[in-house]
Amino acid sequence: MFNAILVEKDNEAYSARIAALSDSQLPPGEVLVRVAYSTLNYKDGLAITGKGPVVRSFPMVPGIDFAGTVEASTHPGFAAGDPVVLNGWGVGEQHWGGLAQKARVQGDWLIPLPDGLSLKQTMAVGTAGYTAMLSILALERHGLKPEHGDVLVTGANGGVGSFAIALLAALGYRVVASTGRPQEADYLKRLGAADIIDRSTLAEPGRPLQKERWAAAIDSVGSHTLANVCAGIRADGAVAACGLAQGMDLPTTVAPFILRGVSLLGINSVMRPVAQRKEAWRRLAKDLDTRHLDEMTREIGLADAISAAIDLLKGAVRGRLVVDVNR
């Protein structure tokens, strides 16, 4: 038997609880993993609370990422004892996920533990840091260099935002952080932000074309914020869009794209090919100053994750929550 968060829906009654499950209840898969750590992401918060239509079938074990050790495998790429990491692939939404002491998944969804990172460190980074790195890689492919100018990061106090700031600063960029919590300015500056702006300056409807302020941006907010970000990007700059904390809508015009040549780069962290995943994790191990991880993360136990999900959706969580599923 093992413990897991189990999300259930009976007619209109939605619930999440800690349940004792058996290996036989796990879904089919080639690799059985003894999970060491998972995380609590925004999507996990929606899944646990039912505040968004994240879960596609019931019952469901949430948790869109995990790190652990292979217990049994029929996949040629993995053997018992191998340390592994998983992000995305619909885990925690369509397939039982990582907020559990065990998970059974397809082998092609896993990658080996990146050199230079521990199991706990990979989940301190988690899908948030992985998404931030995918965003940076997309901007680099677009041609972005530090000498081009400031890079804006929205949702700066969240997981993606915190990692984006730390990574960009380490790579030599001047970073502007947008946050709704100005009291956290010192934290953001310790991560590497050179300037702080209040998110309220971006969150309301604005002009379709505004003063050119930033060479590029990483946006995890969407809606009016993303529209205003696009309107303030310099000519031939780019925005990596990777989240929807404010909303799924994008109330903008074509003006930034056809008058300034701004590029909007969509970041899908869920269904990336293995080669791209390995490259993102290789760069994370190389570029991230792991000394930031202690300040950017807080460890909780599996039993704490349900209440923490509520705080997460309220915007009351700074940085990352690492879940030790064995306590």
Do residues 239 and 153 both lie within one domain? Answer: yes
Task: Give the integer Cα–Cα distance in Å for 214 and 118.
Answer: 35
Whether 325 shows a pLDDT value over 80: the answer reads: yes
Same domain, 215 and 238: yes
Q: Do 131 and 245 fall into the same domain?
A: yes
C-alpha 97/C-alpha 27 separation (Å) is 10
Q: Do 188 and 256 belong to one domain?
A: yes
- Do residue 259 and residue 302 come from a single domain? no
CB atoms within 10 A of CB 39: 29
Assess whether 107 and 157 both reside in one domain.
no
- Let me know whether 153 and 181 are in one domain: yes
Whether 46 maps to a domain, the answer reads yes
Pair 222, 318 in one domain: no
In a domain? residue 61: yes
Mark whether 29 and 64 lie in a shared domain.
yes
In a domain, 274, yes or no: no
Tokens describing residue 128: 């948030």
Percentage of residues in the chain having pLDDT higher than 90 = 90
Q: How far is CA 46 from CA 105, 229, 308, 318, in A?
A: 22, 26, 12, 17
Residues 6 or more apart whose CB falls under 8 angstroms from that of 222 comprise: 241, 243, 244, 245, 246, 247, 248, 249, 250
Domain that holds residue 229: 127-266
Question: pLDDT of 302-320, one tens digit each?
Answer: 999 999 999 998 888 877 8
Residue 242 lies in a domain: yes
Question: In this structure, are 154 and 256 located in the same domain?
Answer: yes
Nearest to 97 by CA among 16, 154, 173: 16
Q: How far apart are CA 143 and CA 157, in angstroms?
A: 27
Number of domain units in the chain? 2
Cα(327)–Cα(323) distance, rounded to whole angstroms?
9
pTM of the model: 0.91
Torsions phi, psi for 10 (to 5 deg): -120, 105
Closest to 180 measured CA to CA, from 160, 159, 158: 158
**Contact predicate 232/214, CB 8 Å:** yes
What is the per-residue pLDDT across 114-135, written as a single tens digit (0 to 9) for each? 999 999 999 999 999 999 999 9
Q: What is the pLDDT of residue 202?
A: 98
pLDDT score, position 299: 95
Q: Among 117, 56, 30, 127, which residue's Cα sits nearest to residue 86?
A: 127
Which CATH number goes with the domain that contains 136?
3.40.50.720
**Is 281 inside any structural domain?**
no
CA distance 87 to 76: 20
Reported confidence tier of residue 42, pLDDT bands at 50, 70, 90 = confident
Domain check: are 246 and 131 in the same one?
yes
**Would the pLDDT of 11 be above 90?**
no
Query: What is the C-alpha separation between 136 and 222, in angstroms, rounded?
Result: 17
pLDDT of the residue at 179: 95
180 belongs to a structural domain = yes
CATH number of the domain that residue 27 is part of: 3.90.180.10
The string of DSSP letters for 257-324 reads: HHHS--EEEE---SS--HHHHHHHHHHHHHH--GGGHHHHEEEEEGGGHHHHHHHHHTT---SEEEEE
Residues 182 and 83 in one domain: no
With contact defined as beta carbons under 8 Å apart, do 231 and 209 qualify?
Answer: yes
pLDDT at residue 101 tops 80 = yes
Mean pLDDT computed over 227-242: 98
pLDDT of residue 211: 97
283 in a structural domain: no
Is 56 within a domain? yes
Task: Report the pLDDT averaged over residues 262-286.
Answer: 96
Nearest to 29 by CA among 113, 103, 111, 112: 103
